[in-house]
């Protein structure tokens, strides 16, 4: 199987984050139960060049959930769904990677 | 814009030992797996120092206030320059971090042990991708975004 075809077999992609440093206030992880295809993503992309990796918050409404990890916590979530990090005062450092679920009888894929 | 109305607290599963714990996340019964106090303060401090002082820690040109150590396949799709060719030829930071703190191997170990078929490193067109990226956000936020290997592979990314 071609390796790019392997990627297309990923049924669920997860983000894994180990929180090494958190600001005293802010830094929450926010999630939306919403996925965008490439065209939608580009259409909603933030027009500011230095924020262009993301989409406009005012275009997607309020998040469905949020969580505030503390130092040393691990959080694993579906990162194909939209997610964001709230403004924090201070530094927020994470160690992270991705996991790909391809079915119960296959290894989880890991990459960054 | 950096804020919004508060959302509901995430629904979480707080253990990761068996396939059933993963299934709760896959099936949408929870929003996240949340393992509290996985690393101790000393381990966190050691890794932050490693990341903050590493010569390969760099900023993004399209994400103000965010630094990274390591490479992200997602960045190919989101970057305005798009050129990360050769990035994965560098040393995977996991290899270096294993010498800094045992918590890195413990995290991979918990994931491997809790999944019956373990882990497999993803390789793309013969390039073995790396297994971690550290991110440091200083007084900033991250806009809503996603990460999706299927979209990234389909985006005809520029591998030069």
Domain residue extents for chain B: 1-36, 40-154
**Mean pLDDT, chain A, integer:** 92
Measured CA to CA, the distance from residue B152 to residue B39 in angstroms comes to 32
Contacts of B152 in chain A (CB under 8 A): 7
pLDDT tens for each residue of A43-62? 999 998 878 789 999 999 99
Within an 8 Å CB–CB cutoff, is residue B117 touching chain A? yes
A32 pLDDT band, cuts 50/70/90, is very high
B147 pLDDT band, cuts 50/70/90, is confident
Does A100 map to a domain? yes
pLDDT tens for each residue of A89-108? 899 999 999 999 999 999 99
Q: Tell me if residue B89 falls in helix, strand or coil.
A: helix
Does A99 map to a domain? yes
β-strands B133-138, B8-9 pairing = unpaired
Chain Cα centroid distance, residue A28: 12
Contacts of A104 in chain B (CB under 8 A): 19, 116
User: Which of 52-91 (B) contact A at CB < 8 A?
Assistant: 52, 60-64, 70-73, 78-80
Contacts of B117 in chain A (CB under 8 A): 105-108
The count of other CB atoms within 10 Å of the CB of residue B156 is 8
Does A40 map to a domain? no
Within an 8 Å CB–CB cutoff, is residue A103 touching chain B? no
Contacts of A51 in chain B (CB under 8 A): 62-64, 143
Measured CA to CA, the distance from residue B129 to residue A99 in angstroms comes to 12
B159 pLDDT band, cuts 50/70/90, is very low
> Is B34 within 8 Å of A74 when comparing Cβ atoms?
yes
Does A48 map to a domain? no
pLDDT the model gives residue B119: 96
Query: Is residue B114 over pLDDT 50?
Result: yes
pLDDT the model gives residue B89: 78
B72 pLDDT band, cuts 50/70/90, is confident
- Closest residue in B to A99 (Cα–Cα): B119
- Closest residue in B to A46 (Cα–Cα): B143
Q: Read off φ and ψ for residue A14, nearest 5 degrees.
A: -120, 150
B93 pLDDT band, cuts 50/70/90, is very high
Within an 8 Å CB–CB cutoff, is residue B47 touching chain A? yes
Contacts of B2 in chain A (CB under 8 A): 86-87
Query: Is residue B50 over pLDDT 50?
Result: yes
Within an 8 Å CB–CB cutoff, is residue A39 touching chain B? no
Residue B6 in tokens: 């508060």
Does A96 map to a domain? yes
Average pLDDT score over residue span B21-45: 97
Which segment of A7-16, A20-29, B123-132 scores lowest on mean pLDDT? B123-132
Measured CA to CA, the distance from residue B26 to residue B29 in angstroms comes to 8
Nearest residue, CB atoms, B130 vs list A99, A109, A112:
A112
Query: Is residue B71 over pLDDT 90?
Result: no
Contacts of A45 in chain B (CB under 8 A): none
Query: Is residue B96 over pLDDT 90?
Result: yes
Please tell me what DSSP assigns to residue A55.
B
Does A43 map to a domain? no
> Is A69 within 8 Å of B34 when comparing Cβ atoms?
yes
pLDDT the model gives residue B5: 64
Does A80 map to a domain? yes
Average pLDDT score over residue span A20-24: 94
Domain that holds residue A10: 3-33+67-111
Query: Is residue A19 over pLDDT 80?
Result: yes
Chain pair A-B, CB pairs under 8 angstroms:
290
pLDDT the model gives residue B1: 45
Contacts of A84 in chain B (CB under 8 A): 141-145
Total number of domains constituting chain A: 1
ipTM over 0.90: yes
Within an 8 Å CB–CB cutoff, is residue B142 touching chain A? yes
**Mean pLDDT, chain B, integer:** 86
Question: By percentage, how much of chain B surpasses pLDDT 70?
Answer: 82
Average pLDDT score over residue span B57-81: 75
């Amino acid at each position: 199987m071609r390796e790019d075809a392997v990627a297309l077999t990923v049924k669920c992609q997860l983000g894994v984050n180990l929180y090494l440093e958190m600001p005293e206030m802010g830094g929450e992880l926010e999630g939306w139960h919403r996925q965008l295809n490439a065209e939608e993503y580009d259409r909603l992309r933030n027009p500011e060049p230095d924020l262009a990796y993301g989409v406009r918050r005012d275009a997607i409404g309020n998040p469905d959930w949020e969580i505030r990890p503390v130092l040393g916590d691990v959080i694993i979530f579906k990162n194909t769904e939209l997610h964001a990090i709230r403004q924090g005062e201070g530094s927020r450092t994470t160690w992270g990677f991705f996991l790909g679920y391809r079915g119960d009888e296959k290894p989880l894929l890991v990459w960054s | 814009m950096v804020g919004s109305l508060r959302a509901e607290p995430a629904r979480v599963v707080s253990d990761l030992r068996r396939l059933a714990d993963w299934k709760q996340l896959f099936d949408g019964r929870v929003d996240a797996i949340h393992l509290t106090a996985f690393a101790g303060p000393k381990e966190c401090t050691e890794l932050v120092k490693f990341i903050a002082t590493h010569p390969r820690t760099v900023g993004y040109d399209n994400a103000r206030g965010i630094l990274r150590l390591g490479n992200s396949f997602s960045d190919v799709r989101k970057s305005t320059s798009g050129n990360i060719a050769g990035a994965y030829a560098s040393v995977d930071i996991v290899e270096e971090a294993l010498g800094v703190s045992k918590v890195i191997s413990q995290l991979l170990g918990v994931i491997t042990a809790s999944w019956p078929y373990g882990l497999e490193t993803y390789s793309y067109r013969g390039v073995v991708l790396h297994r971690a990226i550290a991110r440091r956000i200083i007084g900033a936020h991250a806009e809503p975004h996603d990460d999706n290997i299927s979209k990234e592979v389909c985006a005809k990314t520029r591998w030069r």
